[in-house]
Amino acid sequence: MLQKKDINLIPHDVVMKGNARKRILLWSGIIFLVLVVLSGFSLMEKKKIGTVEGLIADLTLRKAELEQKISRLKILNDKRDRLAKKESGINALLDKRPLTI
């Protein structure tokens, strides 16, 4: 019985070069896609960070404004308390004064 054999006239190293090129292209494509996806995630995270930093800056500004208003309010409360003390002193003096007709 005769066995059928294929005879390959292409040298083995040439066949392996073709396979190596295919693998190199495949892995290059995969690495490229991974880098693109990672770059996309990086850009999204940078955008989120920028948004949060903007909010922090706005809140810091708002906090400074509120602190100024609080200090102004404290000053006004102190003035009110001093005026109330003066008023009570004046009323006490007026109450001690004899009524004259």
Convert the pLDDT of each residue in 40-75 to its tens digit.
Answer: 999 999 999 999 999 999 999 999 999 999 999 999
Taking the C-alpha atoms of residue 64 and residue 15, their distance in angstroms, rounded to an integer, is 73
Measuring CA to CA, which residue among 12, 9, 31 is closest to residue 20? 12
Q: Which residue has the tokens 């770059």?
A: 39
Taking the complete model, does pTM exceed 0.75, yes or no?
no
Whether the pLDDT of residue 2 is over 70: the answer is no
Measuring CA to CA, which residue among 4, 68, 57 is closest to residue 76? 68
